[in-house]
């Protein structure tokens, strides 16, 4: 008579397998020689009263680090909120991030692992002098969208009549000294009194003393 087949204890097998995996992982993490890419926030400082970046500055930097498995795991899971400070003393002459300086700064920033090199998508920097310039504001009176047989019957009032703009030297010097505003709408037949946004008010590189100008004028119908 054949012996009855033994019933496999699957729960015991799973527990044993899980324990073996945990032991293997813990043993592996205790070893040296692992590498990992970690990202850090970065804040580039410069004299922003005299200079302005003409392309976005990097807000994060990635580095390749190596060390003990446990240390790398802790570093990769950490949330780094305090940005690494990177100072630029001569913005007009600085065209690239200095990776050697960054490596040293990050090595001081983190402990227990070795910073091997910086992994960056973009190293280029571009700065210009920041200047201020006054502009005269006028309305494009030839293209006011009036209703047929209606005309502007008064002086066109603007407040303010001049605005000051701060921004990159090359942009401001290339701009005409007069800014012309287009009156929005169609078939205007009533007296006009409204604020009109300057055409470049949303340009992040330009700081305008007044983003909107009040425009008012009277309108009358021509006698037939």
Average pLDDT on 27-31 reads 48
The overall average pLDDT reported for the chain is 82
Could you tell me the two tokens for 28? 């592996």
Q: How far apart are CA 12 and CA 38, in angstroms?
A: 39
pLDDT of residue 17: 60
Q: Is 13 helix (H, G, I), strand (E, B) or coil?
A: helix
Q: Encode pLDDT of 35-86 as tens digits.
A: 777 888 889 999 999 999 999 898 888 888 777 655 565 665 555 667 888 8
Name 115's bridge partners.
Answer: 65
Pick the CATH number of 130-221 from 3.20.20.70, 2.60.40.420, 2.170.120.40, 2.60.40.1120: 2.170.120.40
């Amino acid at each position: 008579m054949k012996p009855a087949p033994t019933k496999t204890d699957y729960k015991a097998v799973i527990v044993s397998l899980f324990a073996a995996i945990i032991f293997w992982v813990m043993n592996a993490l205790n070893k040296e020689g692992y590498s990992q890419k970690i990202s850090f926030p970065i804040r580039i400082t410069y004299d922003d009263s005299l200079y302005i970046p003409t392309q976005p500055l990097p807000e994060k930097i990635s580095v390749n680090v190596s060390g003990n498995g446990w240390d790398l795991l802790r570093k990769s899971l950490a949330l780094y909120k305090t940005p690494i400070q990177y100072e630029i003393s001569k913005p007009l002459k600085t065209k690239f991030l200095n990776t050697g300086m960054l490596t040293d700064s990050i090595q001081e920033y983190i402990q227990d692992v070795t910073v091997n090199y910086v992994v960056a998508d973009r190293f280029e920097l571009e700065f210009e002098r920041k200047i201020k310039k006054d502009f005269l504001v006028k309305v494009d009176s030839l293209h006011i969208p009036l209703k047929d047989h209606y005309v502007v019957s008064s002086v066109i009032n603007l407040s303010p009549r001049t605005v000051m703009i701060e921004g990159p030297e090359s942009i401001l010097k290339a701009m005409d000294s007069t800014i012309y505003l287009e009156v929005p709408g169609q078939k205007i037949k009533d007296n006009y009194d409204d604020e009109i946004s300057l055409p470049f008010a949303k340009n992040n590189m330009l700081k305008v003393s007044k983003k909107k100008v009040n425009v008012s004028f009277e309108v009358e119908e021509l006698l037939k």
